[in-house]
Amino acid sequence: MTLELEQSAGDPVMGIDEAGRGPLAGPVFAAAVHLPLTLARKLVVAEWAAVNDSKKLTERRRDALAAIIKSTEGCVWAIASASAAEIDRLNILRATHLAMKRAHDEVVQQLGKTGNGKRETPNCHLSPITYPLSSINVLVDGLPVTTLPHAINVVKGDAKSLLIAAASILAKTARDAYCQEMETKYPGYGFAQHKGYPTAAHFAALNKLGPCPEHRRSFGPVSQLTLF
């Protein structure tokens, strides 16, 4: 993983990615991750050297890296979501953008306001970096997201950007954890195994049990069920 995109965008910069657009149930999650470039240059060849597109990592590796990312001094991160009800009301694209905006805004809030309308990175063992709030750059995976200020969309960004890859790991592990909660709350659907995706086992459970409150009613395979 390189820092070419981060360095091109310039400090301050954050990466944003989502998880869970395709499933038939549960929220869509998004994560935002910010590092000062001076710190990122050290981490990319050290503790974060294994950070990569979450889809290319095993579950165990994702969980381990998520813990490293969250505990890194100087890293500012946030995870947000949009519920199944919000997805049904807004559509999946707009709900995904909403989750991204929520994660983005939380990171901005965490950066902490200093004097003269500026913000700085807290709890960093390096010298604090102070910069205008209006200059926070955003690298976002996929297509353009107009609701994010200063956003640069990067197709397959989770395989090209360290910060987007880190965000992909946080979003994916958060959503997987939520699926474990759905497994406990709504037994019989197999959420722990298929994570809400449209598998044969999921369709069989839907046909047998009907949708649960976490199912996305606006998605065709759910809306077409006779048991509703």
What average pLDDT does the segment 104-120 reach?
Answer: 62
User: Is 126 in contact with 39 (CB distance < 8 Å)?
Assistant: yes
Q: Tell me what pLDDT residue 134 has.
A: 55
What string of DSSP letters covers 118-130? EEE--S-SSPPPE
Residue 226 lies in a domain: no
Whichever domain contains 217, its CATH number is 3.30.420.10
Residue 91 domain flag: yes
DSSP helix/strand/coil, 16: strand
| pLDDT number for residue 114 | 33
pLDDT at 223 (0 to 100): 87
The answer to whether position 122 is within a domain reads yes
Residue 134 in any domain: the answer is: yes
**By residue range, what is the domain housing residue 36?**
4-221
Task: Determine the Cα–Cα distance for residues 90 and 178; give it in Å rounded to an integer.
Answer: 21
pLDDT digits (tens, 9 = 90+) for 12-58: 999 999 999 999 999 999 999 999 999 999 999 999 999 999 999 99
CB 117 within 8 A of CB 102: no
**Structural domains in the chain (count):** 1
- What is the percent of the chain where pLDDT is above 70? 88
Please check whether residue 128 lies inside any domain of the structure: yes
- pLDDT at site 209: 94
Would you say residue 127 has pLDDT above 70? no
Q: Is 227 part of a structural domain of the chain?
A: no
* Cβ 123 vs Cβ 36: under 8 Å: no
pTM, rounded to two decimals: 0.89
pLDDT band at 123 (very low <50, low <70, confident <90, very high): very low
Contact predicate 4/162, CB 8 Å? no
Residues 202-210: what's their mean pLDDT?
94
User: Is residue 85 assigned to a domain?
Assistant: yes
Indicate whether 132 belongs to any domain.
Answer: yes
Residue 152 tokens read as 């640069």
Backbone angles phi, psi at 131, to 5 degrees: -155, 160
